[in-house]
């Protein structure tokens, strides 16, 4: 009986070890997959938002350039936000920031009229890149802007002749501008210089914490699933494999000891059933042989 106990233990253990291995493998595969998928999804989302914001900024500039500026010039009127797309964007950006704190639309310069438009460290780096490579049209970086991790798109702002109207020599700039911004900074532009940057930033979600949260949910579900499979397989193995095999083993032991009067009846249409029928056939053959030997007067079979 001790032998059959070990045999029973080993089949179940083998099944259980396989289930555990598959469980470990599925967790090892799902964790990095979830991380990569989350990363892809987060970047795609931020990129879509970024494109939208860039296009909105372009649209506002287009509106100022084609509708407002010609009108003001024709009328001989002066109004900064109606004449400069950059100023219009700054005003819109201020309102927008009031409603959407996580997004940034900025026009920056290291020689600004408005001190609020001074470059932050990330912007200073990008400005440097545009100045050292004048063919560069656009830069996309991820970094800290307005104290937040953001996906940032930036393009250079190049000075043109029309800009000098407000950014040229302070003595020639409209009084409205110098009255509001003083005469200290934001002037002396030279045509063709990279004077600043237009910057658009959208928040980039914390990939690690989202991936971690998703991984924990996935691991929880996998564990539940494998626990169910584990219980189900153990029950099935015990009912369909181990119990009938114990019964067959018992019969075989009985035959070996000469007890031939216990028929083995296992009506199963599978391999275990075949095995049981073979053992039963063996038992019957032995029983018949013994009967014949007794009739023939022989009490013991000859060796």
Which residues of the shown chain bind ligand HEC in the complex (CB under 6 A)? 80, 83-84, 86-87, 90, 107-109, 112-114, 117, 157, 159-160, 162-163, 165-167, 177, 186, 195-196
Output the smallest distance, CB 71 to ligand HEC, in A. 13
Report d(CA 180, CA 116) in Å as an integer. Answer: 13
Q: Give the H or E element holding residue 239.
A: none
Least spacing, CB of residue 56 vs ligand HEC, in Å: 17
Rounded Cα distance, 249 and 4, in Å:
8
> CA geometry: angle at 34 spanning 31 and 37, to 5°?
150
Give kind and range of the element (H or E) at residue 76.
Answer: none
Choose between 88 and 255: whose C-beta lies nearer to ligand HEC: 88
Q: Which two tokens stand for residue 189?
A: 């532009």
Question: Please, which residues have CB within 8 angstroms of residue 247's CB and are 6 or more apart in sequence?
Answer: 264, 266, 276
Q: State the Cα–Cα distance between residues 129 and 7, nearest whole angstrom.
A: 73
What tokens were used for 149? 């991790």
The pair of structure tokens assigned to 115 is 């001190």
Distance in Å, CB of 39 to ligand HEC, minimum:
34
Nearer to ligand HEC, 46 or 117 (CB): 117
CB of 200 to ligand HEC, least distance (A): 14
Using the minimum distance from each CB to ligand HEC, give the nearer residue, 124 or 160: 160
- Residue 202 CA, chain-centre distance (Å), reads 18
Please report how close the Cβ of residue 171 comes to ligand HEC at its closest, in angstroms: 15
CB of 150 to ligand HEC, least distance (A): 19
Q: Which CB sits closer to ligand HEC, 167 or 283?
A: 167
Give 47 or 118: the residue with its C-beta nearer to ligand HEC. Answer: 118
Contact assessment for residue 107 and residue 86, using Cβ atoms and an 8 Å cutoff: yes
Instruction: Report the distance separating Cα 135 and Cα 137, nearest Å.
Output: 6
CB closer to ligand HEC out of 200 and 276: 200
């Amino acid at each position: 009986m001790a032998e059959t106990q070990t045999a029973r233990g080993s089949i179940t253990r083998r099944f259980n070890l396989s289930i555990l291995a598959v469980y470990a493998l599925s967790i090892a595969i799902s964790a990095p997959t979830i991380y990569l998928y989350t990363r892809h999804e987060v970047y795609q989302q931020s990129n879509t938002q970024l494109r939208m914001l860039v296009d909105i900024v372009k649209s506002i500039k287009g509106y100022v350039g084609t509708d407002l500026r010609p009108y003001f010039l024709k009328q001989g009127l002066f109004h900064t936000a109606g004449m400069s797309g950059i100023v219009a964007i700054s005003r819109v950006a201020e309102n927008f920031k009031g409603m959407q704190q996580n997004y940034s639309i900025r026009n920056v310069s290291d020689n600004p009229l408005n001190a609020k438009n001074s470059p932050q460290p990330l912007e200073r780096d990008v400005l440097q890149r545009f100045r050292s490579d004048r063919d560069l049209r656009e830069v996309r970086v991820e970094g800290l802007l307005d104290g937040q991790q953001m996906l940032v798109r930036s393009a250079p702002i190049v000075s043109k002749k029309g800009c000098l109207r407000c950014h040229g020599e302070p003595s020639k700039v409209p009084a409205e501008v110098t009255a509001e911004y003083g005469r200290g900074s934001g002037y002396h532009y030279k045509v063709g210089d990279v004077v600043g940057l237009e910057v658009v930033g959208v928040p980039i979600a914390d990939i690690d914490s989202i991936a971690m949260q998703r991984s924990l949910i996935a691991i929880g579900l996998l564990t539940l699933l494998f626990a169910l499979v584990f219980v189900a397989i153990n029950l099935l193995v015990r009912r369909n494999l181990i119990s009938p095999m114990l019964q067959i083993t018992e019969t075989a032991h009985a035959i070996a000891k000469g007890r031939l009067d216990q028929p083995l009846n296992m009506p199963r249409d599978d391999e275990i059933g075949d095995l049981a029928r073979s053992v039963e056939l063996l038992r019957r053959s032995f029983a018949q042989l013994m009967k014949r030997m007794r009739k023939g007067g022989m009490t013991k079979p000859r060796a």
